[in-house]
Amino acid sequence: MDRTLAILKPDCTRRKLTGKAIDFILEKGFKIKAIRTLTLKKEEAEAFYAVHRGKPFFNDLTSYMTSGPIFAMVLEKQNCVEDFRKVIGHTDPKKAENGTLRKLYGINIQENFVHGSDSEENANKEIAFFFPLIEIIT
Give the span between the Cα atoms of 54 and 8, in whole angstroms. Answer: 24
Task: Give the CA-trace dihedral at 106, 108, 111, 116, to 10 degrees.
Answer: 60
Q: For residue 12, what are the contacts with CB-CB under 8 A and spacing of at least 6?
A: 18, 21, 71, 105, 113, 114
Give the span between the Cα atoms of 137 and 69, in whole angstroms. Answer: 23
| Residue 115 annotated in active site | yes
Helix axes 120-130, 80-88, angle to 10 degrees: 80
Query: Can you tell me whether residue 131 is helix, strand or coil?
Result: coil
Q: Which of 9, 77, 102, 115 is catalytic?
A: 115
**Which residues are part of the catalytic machinery?**
115
